[in-house]
Structure 1
Amino acid sequence: MKATKRPIHAVSTWVRRQPPKIKAFLAVISAMTALVFLRMIVNDHDNLFVASEAVHAIGISVLIYKLTKEKTCAGLSLKSQELTALFLAVRLYCSFVMEYDIHTLLDSATLLTTLWVIYMIRFNLKSSYMEEKDNFTIYFVQVIPCAVLSLVIHPTTQHLFFNRICWAFCVYLEAVSVLPQLRVMQNTKIVEPFTAHYVFALGVARFLSCAHWVLQVLDTRGRLLTALGYGLWPSMVLLSEIVQTFILADFCYYYVKSLVGGQLVLRLPSGVV
């Protein structure tokens, strides 16, 4: 067993010792390699979006287990759940008035689950909520900037102006909604397994969603971006997907490293968030 761990440990140690620029370069190379691999093995790239939603559902299931069986919400960010509920509610409104499809039903189920999680944290499991650790300023750092950005850069489609603003707002807010959860984990330094599994599932889901958009753009030779409108909006949609992925990339690295090392509890070093 030790022999199989040594090469992985050696690689992880080497990566950890590299300067930030080298780490960023390695992350980009790894992401590009994963995209090439997915492009080779997945014929219909729309399936990547379905896979993204499936992984997200698995993450939520882990969260539900933690709340119902473990009877604790320690390590969870109420603010992240509230931001998730907010962008899902706005996205549902956009789905109903702009394009009602199967994703509308999936978002409805996710919103109901998220509202249930918020209820459990606020009322049933309030005593285990780490309010002092959940100290990310969401309104001035996330909600208001996303609202302002949506007024400046939004879709140029034929929909009502208000609906286009809402569409942009939920895209931008989703990209940064996980930041309070990462701050909680950074403050506690030690992340118990179920919270770690949940956040890792979010990271994998975000990567699959990002891969879906990138590969669709490559497959259509950029025509997908022009279908979303003109100006900066198409690029901002793609950038938002990439931002979500890289926000969680560092955590996912330490999660995999901990899992390979056989550690049930994840310990984060300073500077992950």
Structure 2
Amino acid sequence: MRAQQRLIHAVSIWVRRQPPKVKAFLAVVSGMAALVLLRFIVHDHDNLFVAAEAVHSIGISVLIYKLTREKTCAGLSLKSQELTAIFLAVRLYCSFVMEYDIHTLLDMATLATTLWVIYMIRFKLKSSYMEEKDNFALYYVLVPCAVLALFIHPSTSHNLVNRIFWAFCVYLEAISVLPQLRVMQNTKIVEPFTAHYVFALGVARFLSCAHWVLQVLDSRGHLLVALGYGLWPSMVLISEIVQTFILADFCYYYIKSVFGGQLVLRLPSGVV
């Protein structure tokens, strides 16, 4: 085990010493290798989306445990939870009026738990909420997503307003974790349950992104055509990729911390 830890430590030091372009190249190569592996292991790629939902549920369960048993919301971003509630509510509306399916029920359950988390942070555990650290202005996220949705949205036969809402929730989901990353950037030290939750989000995002990418590859690009014309199909795929890479750096330090036997995650300057 110590030899394994020394190897991981040596690799992490080597990676940290590389210039940003090399780090980006290594991240892309690692992502592509993981996609190739998943393509051979998982025959039905729809299972990746189910797995993403399952991992997200595990992350929320960890969050619920932290709030109910630890009686603290320290390190959590209320603003990220509020953004999550907004895009889930909009997506639920779109699901009801456009394409009601099993994912609608999953979103209802996720929205319910997210609203409970918001209630706990705002009222029950307000004394432990790090409001001064949770200083990401929401209009930096909401306004660009709304403007982008006005110009780039699905080209289906549905009502225009519903199509704009659909695009808005896709864009907002992609960057809803930014306030949480800002809190961790401000504190530099992330306690275990918060780290587990954010890592679960990162894994769920990667599995969801892998689902879309592999579906596009298997359909030889026909899936993008089925989503409509113009920039919208590409923006859906780009949004999935952005979600993954936003959390990639944090996930790297999380894995490094776990293998190093550290219970508390310490982030170096410039991370997230």
TMscore range, shorter length: over 0.9
Q: What is the CA distance between 1:255 and its match in structure 2?
A: 0.2
- Where does residue 115 of structure 1 map in the other structure? 115
Matching of residues 214-229 of structure 1 within 5 Å: 214-229=213-228
> What amino acid is aligned across from residue 49 of structure 1 in structure 2?
F
How far does residue 2 in structure 1 lie from its aligned partner after superposition?
2.0
> In the alignment, which residue of structure 2 is the partner of 1:57?
57
TM-score, normalised relative to structure 1 = 0.99
| Separation in 1, partners of 2:10, 2:97 | 53
With normalisation by structure 2, the TM-score equals 0.99
> In the alignment, residue 68 of structure 1 is paired with which amino acid?
T
Structure 1 segment 56-135 matched on structure 2, within 5 A: 56-135=56-135
Distance (whole Å) between structure 2 residues aligned to residue 241 and residue 231 of structure 1: 18
Q: Which residue of 1 aligns with 2:199?
A: 200
Unaligned runs of 5+ in 1: none
Q: Tell me the C-alpha RMSD between the 2 structures.
A: 0.5
Q: Distance in 2 between matches of 1:243 and 1:3?
A: 35
C-alpha distance in 2 between matches for 1:66 and 1:87: 24
SS of aligned partner of 1:68: helix
- State the 1:93 CA deviation: 0.1
SS at match of 2:133: coil
Q: Tell me, which stretches of 5 or more residues in structure 2 are unaligned? A: none
Amino acid at match of 2:46: D
What secondary structure does 2:30 align onto?
helix
Provide the identity percentage: 85
What is the deviation of 1:89?
Answer: 0.1
Displacement of 1:8 in angstroms is 1.3
Q: Deviations over 1:59-92 (max 9, x none)?
A: 0000000000000000000000000000000000
Instruction: Provide the C-alpha distance between the structure 1 equivalents of 2:59 and 2:8, rounded to a whole number of angstroms.
Output: 26
Q: Tell me the equivalent position of 1:235.
A: 234
Post-superposition offset of 1:9: 1.1
Tell me which residue corresponds to 1:138: 138
CA distance in 1, matches of 2:149, 2:110: 23
Question: Whole-Å Cα distance in 1 between the matches of residues 5 and 28 of structure 2?
Answer: 25
Letter in 1 for 2:108: S
How far apart are the structure 2 equivalents of 1:118 and 1:4?
A: 40
Task: Find out whether 1:209 has 2:221 as its counterpart.
Answer: no
Inter-partner Cα distance in structure 2 for 1:226 and 1:142? 28
C-alpha distance in 1 between matches for 2:105 and 2:111: 10
The aligned counterpart of 2:266 is 267
Aligned to 2:149: 150
Report the Cα distance in structure 1 between the residues aligned to 2:110 and 2:156, rounded to whole angstroms. 27
Aligned pair count reads 272
Shift of 1:203: 0.1
Question: In structure 1, how many angstroms separate the alpha carbons of the residues matched to 2:153 and 2:8?
Answer: 44
* Residue 165 (structure 1) aligns with: 164
* CA shift digits 1:218-254 (9 cap, x unpaired): 0000110011100000000000000000000000000
Q: Distance in 2 between matches of 1:44 and 1:231?
A: 29
2:30 — aligned with what? 30
Summarize deviations over 1:77-131 as a string: whole Å, max 9, x none: 0000000000000000000000000000000000000000000000000000000
